[in-house]
Amino acid sequence: MLSISSISKKIRKTNILNNFTLPPIYEGEIVTILGKNGAGKSTFLKELIDLIGKKKPVAKINSSVVSYDDVGYLPQNYSIPLSVTVLDLLITTLNLHNKSLLTKKNSLEHSIKILKQIDITHLANKYCNQLSGGESQLVGLALALINNPKIIILDEPTSALDLNNQLLLMHFVHDYIKKHNIYGLMVVHDINLAIQFSDKVAIIKNGELYDYGNLNIIDPALIKNVFDVNSKIIVTEKNLFYLLINKIYMKNQYLNFKSHERRNRKIKNENY
């Protein structure tokens, strides 16, 4: 069980996070943090990583304090301004804490395996400072996983990716977390992606936990209260769950539009 508690952050005398605490996260669970821009989502992840690096006891797995080595972290808008190949960087990252003059056994094989799993072997010999934004994001995911972390923390992992690569990355992360029975914590802006690939969602508003629970907490009332947007829930004949945005309010006026419906995972709860 992963517990994260008492995260606070103040910037220029303004409270961004107010003693932010999450309910327990269990092995194999993926929790997605949702909220408006400026609500404190990315600040929470950055502050959490910073405090873990300083060995502060803000995160624990059971009774053990989480260390930086336990975490695989992919920050927002990730870039790698290094004149080294992707494969060399992976091997170096894998051996960062190796006290021997020799690399760990099977370092090359393990690095290539990660590239194959994410389907980016074609980037192996490309220099990191020549990667596109989307390529850097995918390589960043490989770096986050190379040391077999207990927790994966992703900050807007799909922000630089096209639709196809968004779905490929999210499917991979979901399956990886389930297969290895580790903990997943991420921030995304696309609520339909959260619906499809999360077990639970944490709603943050004004730096505080507004709501938390299974996907059935996502309803038009919550979307209106948090995002100031009108929406409706659609359940298909196959019981597939969609969120359709139809009105956004701007200064007492509104714009009508339809969101792109994405095929989302089956939801057992039929209260919608």
pLDDT of residue 7: 92
Residue 152 lies in a domain: yes
Residue 87 lies in a domain: no
Q: Three-state SS for 245? A: strand
Q: What is the pLDDT of residues 51-101, one digit of tens each?
A: 999 999 999 999 999 999 999 999 988 889 999 999 999 999 988 766 665
How many whole angstroms separate alpha carbon 95 and alpha carbon 104? 6
How many CB atoms neighbour CB 236 within 10 A?
12
pTM for this predicted structure: 0.84
How many whole angstroms separate alpha carbon 9 and alpha carbon 207? 9
How many whole angstroms separate alpha carbon 131 and alpha carbon 122? 12
Same domain (yes/no): 156, 24: yes
Q: Is the pLDDT of residue 152 over 50?
A: yes
Q: What is the mean pLDDT of residues 240-251?
A: 57
Torsion of CA 211, 213, 216, 220, to 10 degrees: 10
Q: Which of these, 152, 128, 125, lies nearest to 139 by C-alpha position?
A: 128
Residue 44's CATH number: 3.40.50.300
Residue 160 lies in a domain: yes
Same domain (yes/no): 63, 178: yes
Same domain (yes/no): 213, 227: no
What are the φ/ψ torsions at residue 253 (nearest 5 degrees)?
A: -120, 165
What is the CA 265 to chain-centroid distance, rounded? 18
Same domain (yes/no): 72, 203: yes
Residue 116 lies in a domain: no
Mean per-residue pLDDT over the chain, rounded: 85
Higher pLDDT, 59 or 14: 59
Same domain (yes/no): 204, 254: no
Task: Identify the domain containing residue 78 by its residue range.
Answer: 2-82+130-218
How many whole angstroms separate alpha carbon 272 and alpha carbon 260? 20
Same domain (yes/no): 199, 239: no
Residue 191 lies in a domain: yes
For residue 47, the 8-state DSSP code is H
The helix (run of H) or strand (run of E) holding residue 8 is strand 2-11
pLDDT band at 238 (very low <50, low <70, confident <90, very high): low
Q: Contact at 8 Å (CB) between 64 and 235? A: no
Same domain (yes/no): 148, 253: no
What is the CA 232 to chain-centroid distance, rounded? 25
Q: Contact at 8 Å (CB) between 173 and 117? A: no
Q: For the chain, how far is it from start to end, CA to CA, in angstroms?
A: 30
Q: Three-state SS for 255? A: strand
Same domain (yes/no): 158, 232: no
Q: What is the pLDDT of residues 175-212, one digit of tens each?
A: 999 999 999 999 998 888 898 899 999 999 988 999 99
Residue type (1 letter), 180: H
Residue 36 contacts by C-beta under 8 Å, 6 or more apart in sequence? 205, 226, 227
What's the number of domains the chain is made of?
A: 2
Q: Which residues of 58-92 are buried (b: 16+ CB within 10 A; e: fewer)?
A: bbebeeeebeeebbbbbbbebbbeeeebbbebbbb
Helix residue ranges, H only, 19-82: 41-53
Quote the strand ranges of the chain, DSSP E: 2-11, 14-25, 30-34, 59-61, 64-65, 71-74, 151-155, 183-187, 200-205, 208-214, 229-235, 241-250, 253-256
